[in-house]
Amino acid sequence: MKTAFVTGITGQDGSYLAEFLLKKSYKVVGLVSSDFSVGNQNIEEIKDQLILEKGDLLNEDSLRTIIEKYQPSEIYNLAGLTFPPISWKKPTLVMDINTLGLARILEIIKDKYQSIKVYQASSSKIFGNPKVYPQNEKTEIAPNDPYAVSKAASHFLVQAYRRRFDLFLVSGILFNHESPRRGEEFVTRKITLTVAKIKFGLENKLSLGNLDAEQDWGYAPDYVEAMWLMLQQDKPEDFVIATGELHSVRDVCEIAFSYLGMDWKKYVKVDRQLFRKEEEKPLIGDFSLAAKTLGWKPKTPFKDMIVNMVQSDVENLKRSEK
């Protein structure tokens, strides 16, 4: 039985990855931070099958204790502060968790546990406003905010340690990926949750910024499979994971409202204050290397993903009313 150590196990990606690994008969050890916990709702159904250890990416001793105790064959570093606008308010904390947290893990394994394979959660945000479309593994890295800088630094750290110490380290450059477990601060979940609330009479409008803003949005459960596949290869390599399709905020609204039989135009209000100060160019990923090397491709159509999110939010509201 393989053992995997997952940081950020209670988050969107961590919880889906934990479910995926359990089906692969892994022993799954999860890092739970008392200071930065999002709660256990995402792992409630599988909690009894997991080993949850208290610790923190800010605390190297806690990481060392867990790694020494379980000596995992794989580490998935998914923990981090992930909402870019917040990173301008807490840049030092973002760097400490997102970049130095990884450095602490790498320092622990480089001398004593060199056989451990490590997956690092990178992000399409490292590309900033790219000059090349679509973006692939060779696209210039030019981050625009502290969050993206922290992810870019981690990306370079993986490459540096990989070269220097011949470790099996990989970065997954994941483009936006959504699910019913996405945080409510992200626009797709904000839309699906508010649509459900409007249907139940709990809200009467949805305020949004630029409806023409586009993203390459994929489905989180599809993306965690790619993480696992990266660590099953013969040699470590970084991969772009994306859909290669762009959809707008307006598209999300149309699908979400129409699924519940409503006209989105009656409820959506454009608020200029919600526009970003600098509208970024949409990022769109080229996942051809992942398709060729990993045999991976996105499985879930965009419309199905949004409908799944609406369905989940409706069910959650029904349960809360009982």
Closest CA to 4 of 218, 124, 24: 24
Look up residue 53 and give its two tokens. Answer: 């250890």
Tell me which fold the domain 3-177+217-241 belongs to. Answer: Rossmann fold (3.40.50)
* pLDDT single digits (tens) 160-210: 999 999 999 999 999 999 999 999 999 999 999 999 999 999 999 999 999
Fold of 183-216+246-280+301-321: UDP-galactose 4-epimerase; domain 1 (3.90.25)
pLDDT (average), residues 33-57: 90
- Asked whether the predicted pLDDT for residue 322 surpasses 80, the reply is no
Do 298 and 286 touch, CB atoms closer than 8 A? no
CB 142 within 8 A of CB 128: yes
Tell me what pLDDT residue 311 has.
Answer: 98
DSSP letter at 96?
I
CA 278 to chain centre: 23
pLDDT at 304 over 90: yes
Percentage of residues of the chain with pLDDT beyond 70: 98
Specify the pLDDT at position 279: 64
User: Residue 320: which pLDDT band, with cuts at 50, 70 and 90?
Assistant: confident
Give the model's pLDDT for residue 278.
67
Pairing verdict, β 214-215 and 247-248: antiparallel
Who's near 280: CB < 8 A, 6+ residues apart?
128, 129, 144
What pLDDT is stored for residue 276 in this prediction? Answer: 76
Two structure tokens written together for 52: 């949850």
What is the mean pLDDT of the segment spanning 75-89?
87
Q: Which pLDDT score is estimated for 87?
A: 86
What per-residue confidence (pLDDT) applies to 273? Answer: 85
Q: What does the pLDDT read at residue 172?
A: 98
Q: Is the pLDDT of residue 38 over 80?
A: no
How does pLDDT run across 246-289, given as a tens digit for each residue?
999 999 999 999 999 999 999 999 998 888 766 678 999 999 99
Cα–Cα distance measured from residue 170 to residue 158, given in angstroms and rounded to the nearest whole number: 7
- Residue 149 scores a pLDDT above 90: yes
Distance CA 287, CA 294 (A): 10
Alpha helices in the chain (DSSP H): 12-23, 60-70, 84-87, 91-95, 101-112, 146-165, 187-199, 220-230, 249-259, 288-294, 302-321
Name the average pLDDT for the chain. Answer: 95
Give the tens place of pLDDT for each residue, 94-113: 999 999 999 999 999 998 99
* Residue 194: φ, ψ to 5°: -70, -35
pLDDT of the residue at 280: 74
Domain ranges of the chain: 3-177+217-241, 183-216+246-280+301-321
Query: How many helices (H) and strands (E) are present in the chain, helices listed first?
Result: 11, 13
